[in-house]
Amino acid sequence: MYKTFRTENWPKVVVGLVLAIVFGCTTHALAEGPTRDEYVNELESVCKPGAEATQRAMKGARADISAERLGVAAGKFAQAAQIFGSTVQKIAKVSRPPADTAKLTKWFGYLKRQESYLRQITVELKAGHSISAQRRVARFIHNGNLANHVVLDFGFNHCSFKFSRYG
């Protein structure tokens, strides 16, 4: 009824237990997600090209608005909105550190709102409404600062909001 283990089977049992423990720990570590540092490094590598492209696309946008070249400025804001939205989509797919889930969810909410403001600014500029566009720019800046405060302790560089990139 009861089987006894033979001594020649012990090495197989020990190897099996060790493999089960190692596999279980590895699976558990993968399920936990990345560390904050790993997460920041991965996001920075995605954000850097977008931040640089935005800076190039937005070059002279303030001067265009001041000179009432609203159509030209609208094109620059439209391009920035597309770049920003694409970057947010890419970083949203990155696995997040479990301890920071609530904080990052709030941050992504601000980022989505910023993308919306960029699109609204574009619409206002295309319609020739420079005053409404400037109000939206003020909201865009304020929202970007709120986003920065949420993730201040992450130490982002390219993934943080810097208004100097926008013209």
How far from 3 is each of 6, 10, CA to CA, in Å?
Answer: 9, 14
Q: Residues with Cβ < 8 Å from 114, sequence gap 6 or more?
A: 84, 140, 143, 144, 147, 161
Mean pLDDT, the chain cut into blocks of 10 residues (167 residues total)? 56 52 48 90 96 95 92 96 97 96 97 97 96 95 97 94 84
Residue 32 near residue 98, CB atoms below 8 Å: yes
Residue type, 131: I
The pLDDT assigned to 1 comes to: 54
**Residue by residue, what is the 3-state secondary structure of the chain?**
CCCCCCHHHHHHHHHHHHHHHHHHHHHHHHHHCCCHHHHHHHHHHHHHHHHHHHHHHCCCHHHHHHCCCHHHHHHHHHHHHHHHHHHHHHHHCCCCCHHHHHHHHHHHHHHHHHHHHHHHHHHHHHCCCHHHHHHHHHHHHHHHHHHHHHCHHHCCCCCCCCHHHHC
Domains and CATH numbers, the chain: 34-166 (1.20.120)
Residue 32: the pLDDT is: 81
pLDDT of residue 55: 95
The pLDDT assigned to 15 comes to 53
Model pTM score: 0.78
